[in-house]
Amino acid sequence: MAQQTQRRVGTMVAALIRVTGRTITDAAAHLGIHRNSLADKIAGRRPFTEDEILALAGFFEVTPAQLFEDPRQLLGVSPAQSRCIEVPRHLTLATAA
Confidence at residue 43, expressed as pLDDT on a 0 to 100 scale: 92
Q: Which of 44-48, 55-59, 93-97 has the lowest mean pLDDT?
A: 93-97
Residue 75 and residue 19 in contact, taking contact as beta carbons nearer than 8 Å: yes
- Structure confidence at residue 93 as a pLDDT band (50, 70, 90): very low
CATH class of 3-84: mainly alpha
Evaluate if residue 87 carries a pLDDT over 60. no
Segments making up each domain of the chain, as ranges: 3-84
pTM attached to this predicted model: 0.72
Q: What is the pLDDT of residues 47-84, one digit of tens each?
A: 999 999 999 999 999 999 998 887 777 666 555 555 54
Confidence at residue 76, expressed as pLDDT on a 0 to 100 scale: 65
